[in-house]
Structure 1
Amino acid sequence: MTSSAGTPAARRTTRPTLATIAASAGVSVATVSKVVNGRDDVAEQTRAHVQALLRQHDYASPTTRRVAAGTTVEFLINGVFAAYATEVVDGVITEGAESGTSVVVGKMQDASRLGRAPGVWARELKVAGRAGVVVVTGELTGDHVDALAEVGLPLVVIDPVNLPRSSVTSVGSTNFTGGFTATQHLLGLGHRRIGYVGGPPKSGCNQARLHGYRAAHEVAGVHPRPELIGNQNFDYECGLELGARILALPDPPTGIVAGSDSIALGVIEAARRRGLRVPDDLSVTGFDDTELAAAATPPLTVIRQPLHEMGRVALRTVLRMAAGETLDSHHVELATQLVVRGSTGPAPR
């Protein structure tokens, strides 16, 4: 007699295991587990291969099975929906579609300006059925963090402007390394007067990029000049305004490290208005590698942030927290990469 477990119907309902996926991928079970749990210590090619097999086998992790059914996560953006935020949103929504999680996208507004205290805001999210909150580039207060904790909503922030306390879970990239690498690239091209135009002075990611810029100078034995450094906002207007100011100096820079792609485009426009050619007279690097970078004239040399993957990791992390899992780390940094295009060249003689 054939047992019911051996029937075709029973075989169709058998869930794939990590061992099944590992055998198909030719990797260890531990590697598959890392991919499932959003760990960043897996080679990108291996991660992509394993993720493809997970989708092919319709595998759902225990976390996803417990949390994702009917789950909704609030995703809040601070400021305008710029190219940076759009790519992060795409990653969050893609991960949500694959895990069966609904994502509500909105703007992070100042609670006091709306007449809503942080406690009221948090309770409204809880009543609306949110399982967690993801905020990108938001400026949070301790009251916001406390209010979410009080109602039991996990919080993950992406590239936060500030962290009220170290226990807040965050996702970002290797910003220090990115600032260092961009500056090192210009130094390697012979530039010695290199400016930095960045975002808000209080922003943690901006500070890390600026520190990387300074560290590259120190390693090369070059002293960065304070008058060539400006910080304001991660937008085009910042690049245009501060770029014009720095380029009007009696001894202007031959290269500028920009804290974002939008800033870099503003700097390039400021250079054009002064009759300077990029990269013949001025080299410029961006940071992010949004769709604006490759479409720019000339195409931007950038530090690429894995924005799409940052969004995916953030959603996976908040779902793990909602399921009561213990995280290995409260802060995840994904690797950045230098992409050389047409906006940088040798220092002018």
Structure 2
Amino acid sequence: MTGQSPESPGRVTLTTIASEAGVSVSTVSKVLNGRSDVSTDTKERVEAVMDHLGYQRRPARRRGAVIDLVLNELDSLWSVEIIRGVDEVLHAAGASMVLSAVHGRSSDTREWIDQLAARRSNGAILVVSELTPQQRRRLTALDVPFVLLDPVGSVEALVPTVGATNWAGAVSATEHLIELGHTRIAHLAGPRQVLCSRARADGFRATMEAAELPVPEAWAPHGEFNDASGRTELARLLDSLDASGEEPPTALFAASDLQALGAFEVLRDRGYAIPGDMSIVGFDDLPVARWTHPALTTVRQPLLDMASVAANALLRIIDGEPVDQFRLELATQLVVRGSTAPPRKSTTRPS
């Protein structure tokens, strides 16, 4: 903030601490929450920087706070990771969490805001949600601070958001397949209206275009982030290729691990070997990605860290601290496992 000394107690931001310590914002968040997955050296360095800058933790206002965590659905593996990350932070801060599912329906959203007002919640984390101007005005009128996690649509400039480097993640996934020698690559995209889905699709197409590899429109269908959509969209694509006599792709980049798992089922039902006949890359790195056979190559989205950063940001706002950075994107990372390999010399269609 302009005119504020970094040494002013209560004014130091996590971004300042991360920069001084040479670590990421999510690492500082882990140290604040006593996470065990931080090395002793890193923990001591971060804490030394906090002491040097005069950072003061102020738990009084957050203790006993009630935080609403609003998701589109509660029964997906993706949602479970987000719930775990938020719960860990709130538990350490002495705050409580209320879970709501809106299923993308405006009527459920209105009902949730009415319930939030009735229970006098202290703040809200909205996950994969689109915040309309009317909803923002209502939350502001109720004096309820909020943070958007992986927002659906465009977001106003001063609304705090936490996301991941979706475009870069898609680029790394596509480059991996191209470097293996694949030239016929399909993409199972997510919902058209969701920002992270569009970023992944754009990253895929930009990388294919840079490599001068064509992508027929039918080879990049949009669906939902679930296994049923992965099954449906890939089956539709393979059926159309069978009807036309065209050779199938040798590789597939799915916009989510669940879509990739749906694709696994279709390919096995049709006699395709993975990765022999088709390599597959997912996105998210859910725990189930390591349990498939072969294990799924995927782009790790730091879901626990994203949830932790969002929860910490909201608690700092509740404590009256300034928002140091309204848009945070945590880095994604390609994780190579057994579901990708160079294409076979011949692309014989499975019988």
Which of 63, 72, 88 is 1:69 aligned to? 63
Deviation of residue 65 (structure 1)? 1.8
Which of 289, 293, 316 is 2:285 aligned to? 289
Question: Which amino acid letter does the alignment assign opposite residue 50 of structure 1?
Answer: K
Which of 41, 45, 50 is 2:43 aligned to? 50
Q: Distance in 1 between matches of 2:117 and 2:77?
A: 30
Contact 2:21 2:46 in 1 (8 A): no
Question: Which amino acid letter does the alignment assign opposite residue 343 of structure 1?
Answer: S
Q: Distance in 1 between matches of 2:148 and 2:140?
A: 14
Deviation of residue 322 (structure 1)? 1.9
Deviation of residue 225 (structure 1)? 2.3
Matches within 5 A, 1:247-326: 247-248=238-239, 249=241, 250-326=246-322
Matches within 5 A, 1:124-143: 124-143=115-134
Q: Distance in 2 between matches of 1:103 and 1:341?
A: 36
Q: Distance in 2 between matches of 1:197 and 1:99?
A: 40
| Structure 2 counterpart of 1:217 | 208
Which of 89, 94, 97 is 1:100 aligned to? 94
Q: Which range moves more in the overlay, 293-302 or 151-160?
A: 151-160
| Structure 1 counterpart of 2:232 | 241
| Structure 1 counterpart of 2:6 | none
Q: Percent identity?
A: 33
Matches within 5 A, 1:69-88: 69-88=63-82
Q: Distance in 1 between matches of 2:268 and 2:305?
A: 34
Contact 2:185 2:215 in 1 (8 A): yes
- Summarize the Cα distance change of 1:97–1:121 in structure 2 as closer, same or farther, 3 Å threshold: closer
Q: Distance in 1 between matches of 2:196 and 2:30?
A: 21
Q: Distance in 2 between matches of 1:313 and 1:271?
A: 38
Deviation of residue 232 (structure 1)? 1.2
Deviation of residue 195 (structure 1)? 0.6
Question: Which amino acid letter does the alignment assign opposite residue 164 of structure 2?
Answer: S
Deviation of residue 127 (structure 1)? 3.8
Q: Which range moves more in the overlay, 188-197 or 248-257?
A: 248-257
TM value normalised by structure 1: 0.81
Question: Which amino acid letter does the alignment assign opposite residue 70 of structure 2?
Answer: L
Deviation of residue 324 (structure 1)? 2.6
Contact 2:282 2:297 in 1 (8 A): yes
Contact 2:130 2:153 in 1 (8 A): yes
Contact 2:129 2:151 in 1 (8 A): yes
Q: Output one character per residue of 1:5-64: Cα deviation in whole Å (capped at 9) or x when no partner.
A: xxxxxxxxxxxx99xxxxxxxx99943996797499xxx95699428986xxxxxx7454
Contact 2:100 2:112 in 1 (8 A): no
Q: Which range moves more in the overlay, 93-102 or 192-201?
A: 93-102
Q: Distance in 2 between matches of 1:28 and 1:233?
A: 36
| Structure 2 counterpart of 1:200 | 191
Deviation of residue 244 (structure 1)? 1.0
Q: Which range moves more in the overlay, 45-54 or 318-327?
A: 45-54
| Matched residue SS, 1:88 | helix
Deviation of residue 150 (structure 1)? 1.5
| Matched residue SS, 2:59 | helix
Q: Which range moves more in the overlay, 102-111 or 185-194?
A: 102-111
- Summarize the Cα distance change of 1:29–1:135 in structure 2 as closer, same or farther, 3 Å threshold: closer
| Matched residue SS, 2:341 | coil
Q: Distance in 1 between matches of 2:159 and 2:226?
A: 26
Question: Which amino acid letter does the alignment assign opposite residue 272 of structure 2?
Answer: L
In structure 2, list runs of 5 or more residues that go unmatched: 1-8, 11-16, 32-36, 48-54, 346-351
Deviation of residue 204 (structure 1)? 0.1
| Structure 2 counterpart of 1:24 | none
Q: Distance in 1 between matches of 2:153 and 2:41?
A: 32
Aligned-residue CA RMSD (Å): 3.0
Question: Which amino acid letter does the alignment assign opposite residue 83 of structure 2?
Answer: V
Question: Which amino acid letter does the alignment assign opposite residue 255 of structure 1?
Answer: A
- Summarize the Cα distance change of 1:35–1:226 in structure 2 as closer, same or farther, 3 Å threshold: closer
Q: Distance in 2 between matches of 1:225 and 1:48?
A: 50
Q: Output one character per residue of 1:190-229: Cα deviation in whole Å (capped at 9) or x when no partner.
A: 0001111021111000000111101211222222222210
Q: Distance in 1 between matches of 2:192 and 2:40?
A: 35
Contact 2:18 2:46 in 1 (8 A): no
TM value normalised by structure 2: 0.81
